[in-house]
Chains A and B, each alone.
Chain A
């Protein structure tokens, strides 16, 4: 399994039957491919769809049925559509059980930066600030390093997405939680030692007494 699918598969273990979940673009979209058998969740697309299904078969795309990237999707039986005010009411109002987002940096207090690199990439925050501020549980799916540098940092150098700390960080090396605003190593990926995680991580973190191998099913 490649790094991205490993992350997606681990995060899929966090899903519980009946949850309302929003998946961001990039690695988070892979979570839907690893849904454990028997678990039924509702995926929200913030452009106004709850009950998002898989990509349509060739020739079956509907121009007015799309995901938040404007790509064709399907609607599962029981799906509903609504306007953007309702969509963000679901997100901010505590109705969204979980959001899974990509990240540029996560710091040792669980703060996330994922929407701009000043002077380089200014795409806009889209719905990310609302999602991190409003979802009941925030999970970040991120590769541990970029160009050899740790993305799990002491302090975010990039502009923050929210001052609300995330709940769980899953990389291809490890799983961290942030109880009381401090990074805590919960799991290591198959074949990865705690020592190896420390060597690849800029942030200070404590190791949970119950640290264990990453659960993938």
Chain B
């Protein structure tokens, strides 16, 4: 059985850990895990996610509590606190084009040595990267990303860890579930094994390490 209480789950995460967190403007973010990280005082975290949401919501709670040392994201424009901490020099921010970010995470989880994309060629996003020509077209070599933990939000989970997602709450969740050493899942509903039809399962159970019990 993969279920675990939320306190014990977050106790596994040390200060300084790298976390991939699902969600797009906090939609599809496992809020209870964020709240427990804040409550237990975890700090010096590296957060890899699409964005940092808004103050007081989702990842914005970790930013507001100054628990994050580094953010790797595609967009921080709707969270002025992230921008302020970046300007103050207390928070390192690495901005990555959204399609490149998700593919770098996918590469990390799918056993690839990197991906080639035309996105960012000739822009600031090219800095420090190798350019590779394929059939006469320039591409950037983008390297894989992995994390110590993935914090995943799902609509439905069964006790094997099979996951299905809701509408636009899916976003980064199934991809980060492949790319971390330890995968923690917060599901809205936990159902008996066999309830989710096999062809509705998006994330296969074996990649999930722990399911947060209700």
Contacts and interface: CB of A to CB of B under 8 A. Distances in A.
Interface residues of B, number: 47
Contact of A47 (B24, B119, B120): B24
- Residue among B74, B86, B122 with the most chain A CB within 10 A? B74
Interface string B12-33: 0000000000001111100000
A14 interface: no
Contacts of B81: none
Nearest to A159: B124
A77 interface: no
Given A46-B98, A83-B172, A84-B50, A125 B167 contact: no
Contacts of A68: 24-25
Given A64-B155, A84-B175, A125 B170 contact: no
10 contacts: A64-B27, A64-B167, A83-B173, A91-B99, A123-B75, A123-B77, A124-B95, A126-B51, A126-B74, A130-B117
B24 A81 contact: no
Interface in B155-195: 155, 165-175
A62 interface: yes
B41 interface: no
Question: Main SS of chain A's interface residues?
Answer: loop
Contact of A49 (B50, B74, B120, B167): B167
Interface of B: 24-28, 50-51, 53-54, 73-78, 83, 86, 95, 97-100, 102-103, 106, 117-125, 155, 165-175, 202
Given A47-B168, A92-B119, A160-B122, A123 B76 contact: yes
Contacts, number: 143
A125 to B, nearest CB: 5
B60 to A, nearest CB: 11
A85 B78 contact: no
A130 to B, nearest CB: 4
Nearest to A129: B97
Contacts of B155: 64
B112 to A, nearest CB: 12
